[in-house]
Amino acid sequence: METSNRKRSITVGLFVIIGVLIFVVGVVTIGSMKKIFATSISVKSIFHDVNGLKPGNNVWYSGVKIGTVKKISFLDNEQVEVILNIEEKSQEFVRKNAKAKISTDGLIGNKIIVIYGGSQKVPSIEDGDQLAVEKIESTEEMIAVLSENNKNLLGITSAFKTISKNIMDGKGTVGMLLNDERLYNDVDQTLGALRKASVNAQAMTASLSGFTAKLNQKGGLANDFATDTVIMRDIRSTIGKLNETVASANMMVENLKTTTASLNSNKTSPLGVLLHDEKTAANLKGTLQNLESSTEKLDENMEALRSNFLFRKYFKRKAKEEGKQEAAKNEVPADTTK
């Protein structure tokens, strides 16, 4: 009897020990999952709407769980204060200018706090700091936007339906193109002409490219104009001289104009008298005629003197001397190189 009681006591003790161990392991496991035993700091954020957030929900940073929601309380002006427990080992990665927003763990999961952003130049958060928040549109607002978009989509679909019906009925330019064979043929011919014009334009462009390449070849006129500084200097000099010549010609024309005006206005000068006085011009003409007749008579007198025996020897000697001078000029000098 005593042996059976002892076995029963040992069995009960083993079950108690196993239960205590299971309890301890469960507490440690749950604590590690909830970060209960981890050293942490407290920071806060103030929201206008927490969208169903509860104490104990997780806090995430860059996809890593760094804490939990400790407390949610109301403030004035319909604001909600959320206290967050952040692990000390994650404290150095979160900056004071980081922001917090409410998100969802998965598509239909629990609400979570997501911390993001922050500059490396700003110090890390400390116990009691406040993180700025970003307003997130609620589910009702997103549903309202989707509803409005659905209405707009319905309107667009109705408009497309009307347009397609008009096209099928042959209304409008597109409808005529699809239903009128004659107009379609005209458009096809026009496109063919445009293709030919495009081919001709390409051929012309190729020709221009070849011509330009030839102009740019060394030794060509265009290349010399562009690269030979001597030619350009000569051209500039020639242009300068042409400008000087044009200026001189302009000055000469102005002088001729002045002289002509002076001759036309001054009729007492010799040239003015010759140009305007008919009597003087007639006298000058008669004088010239008398000079011509006198010259003819003088030639006759010289011929008479040549025939006169008193002057015949003089003229013969004169002719002989002129002949000698002409022969001396035409005489070829002897070659002294032989």
pLDDT along the chain (338 residues), means of 10: 71 81 75 61 89 89 90 86 90 90 79 89 90 74 80 84 75 67 76 87 84 69 66 80 87 83 68 67 77 76 67 72 78 53
Residue 151, SS3?
helix
Cα–Cα distance measured from residue 137 to residue 131, given in angstroms and rounded to the nearest whole number:
19
- Gyration radius of the chain over CA positions: 62
**Confidence at residue 220, expressed as pLDDT on a 0 to 100 scale:** 65
Residue 179 identity:
N
What is the DSSP-derived secondary structure letter of residue 121?
T
- What is the C-alpha to C-alpha distance for residues 323 and 325, in angstroms, rounded to an integer? 5
> Could you write out the three-class secondary structure of 16-57?
HHHHHHHHHHHHHHHHHHHCCCCCEEEEEEEECCCCCCCCCC
Query: Closest Cα partner for 77 from 45, 44, 48?
Result: 48
Nearest to 47 by CA among 114, 100, 117: 100
Amino acid 260: pLDDT: 76
User: Taking a C-beta distance cutoff of 8 angstroms, is the pair 166, 177 a contact?
Assistant: no
Give me the residue spans of the domains in the chain: 35-135, 275-305
Q: How distant, in Å, are the alpha carbons of 238, 273, 293 from that of 282? A: 50, 12, 17
3-state secondary structure of 40: strand
Give the 3-state secondary structure of residue 78. Answer: coil
Residue 176 in contact with residue 185, Cβ under 8 Å?
no
State the residue for tokens 């009597």.
279
**What is the rounded distance in angstroms from the CA atom of residue 134 to the CA atom of residue 53?**
15
